[in-house]
Amino acid sequence: MALDERWCQGQSGGMSGCQIVECLEEDGVVKFASRLADGARIESVILPIRGRTTVCVSSQVGCGRGCVFCATGALGFGRNLSPEEIVWQVQAARERQECRVDNIVFMGMGEPLDNLDSVVQAIRVMADPHGLDIAYRYITVSTAGHADGIRALGAFNLTNLRLAVSVNAAEDTLRDRLMPINRQYPLARLKAELLAFPKGKRGVILIEYVLLAGVNDSREQALQLARYVDGLPVRINVIAFNGASGSGFSAPAPEQVRRFCGWLVEEKLFVRERRSRGQGVLAACGMLGVGRLP
């Protein structure tokens, strides 16, 4: 791990008033924390993947959705970020890497569709040739299943914008428990909006499934997931829980992760086991906001 003092101390945000206050790097993954003009703190992550640079941005200070396995959810809701504060995270990452940013994912702190207007405004700046010039197809909005937000986002006609949905359970009783947003937008309502969402050229929705040992990793639950996505053009990312939130959940054994993926493949689904990189710097999925960096 190495702290990049020059970059951490040298970045401040011009109009946005943001400033990098801490950063940490491990295995090429960089997590940086920023202090906003009002003193609020957010975190963002830079992920180099196969020669391309992905930046994971936050859309809120904390999050009010309270998913029980998520460290950000445990922080509660602070406030929405402005478009400038969202775009600034990408700018800061670009200066750090001294190269262009190829992909942007809204998978940092917050439920992006709870801050739709700012997120859409930020996306437009990111995609504009006079802005960051990153095509919509390289920008992914990830939601916990905000059905009204998915419909509203679709209506903006941001052609080829990519949508990811964190599903984690394909049966309402369990999903109600893991992700309280499901009580507002049950699975059937969510699926109706996913079917209606404009898919763009690639025509695929990314389904994220965080595997929690003994909770949602059985064969029956894999089959439930397969039935749920039937009729939807999807790619499924299976991510082993990173075990960092102190939530009482634990990571499944690697062989169980492989078995779960195999059951989905048997159902003819396109599945990727996604390794959660950056755990040593608390930058992995569900770890933002876990604590201050050393």
From CA 23, how far away is CA 129, in angstroms rounded? 29
End-to-end CA distance of the chain: 11
Query: What stretch of H or E contains 126?
Result: helix 116-127
Supply the minimum distance, in Å, between the C-beta of residue 133 and ligand SF4.
28
Residue 70 vs 123, nearer CB to ligand SF4: 70
Supply the minimum distance, in Å, between the C-beta of residue 237 and ligand SF4.
14
Supply the minimum distance, in Å, between the C-beta of residue 9 and ligand SF4.
29
Stretch that binds ligand SF4, among 24-32, 65-73, 231-239, 262-270 (CB under 6 A): 65-73
Contact 65/181 with Cβ under 8 angstroms? Answer: yes
Supply the minimum distance, in Å, between the C-beta of residue 281 and ligand SF4.
18
Supply the minimum distance, in Å, between the C-beta of residue 91 and ligand SF4.
22
Q: Interface residues for ligand SF4 in 66-125 (CB under 6 A)? A: 66-67, 70, 72-73, 109-111
Nearest to 216 by CA among 272, 184, 263, 275: 263
Contact 243/274 with Cβ under 8 angstroms? Answer: no
Residues 6+ apart with CB under 8 A from 124: 131, 158
From CA 176, how far away is CA 170, in angstroms rounded? 10
Residue 32 vs 185, nearer CB to ligand SF4: 185
What x-and-dash track marks residues 128-167 binding ligand SF4 by CB under 6 A? ----------------x---------------------x-
Residue 110 vs 149, nearer CB to ligand SF4: 110
Give the residue nearest to ligand SF4 (CB). Answer: 73
Binding residue for ligand SF4, selected from 18, 46, 61, 63, defined by CB under 6 A: 63
Decide: is 193 part of the binding site for ligand SF4 (CB under 6 A): no
Q: Is 43 an annotated catalytic residue? A: yes
Q: Is 285 an annotated catalytic residue? A: yes
Residue 116 sits at φ, ψ, to 5 deg, of -60, -45
Residue 66 vs 131, nearer CB to ligand SF4: 66
Catalytic site residue from 25, 43, 85, 208: 43
Residue 127 vs 169, nearer CB to ligand SF4: 169
Tokens of 159: 């052609």
Residues 6+ apart with CB under 8 A from 89: 18, 34, 42, 44, 55, 57, 58, 108
R_g of the chain, CA atoms, integer Å: 18
Contact 141/153 with Cβ under 8 angstroms? Answer: yes
Catalytic site residue from 8, 67, 261, 285: 285
Q: Which residues bind to ligand SF4, rule: CB under 6 A?
A: 63, 65-67, 70, 72-73, 109-111, 144, 166
- Which active-site residues does the annotation give? 43, 285
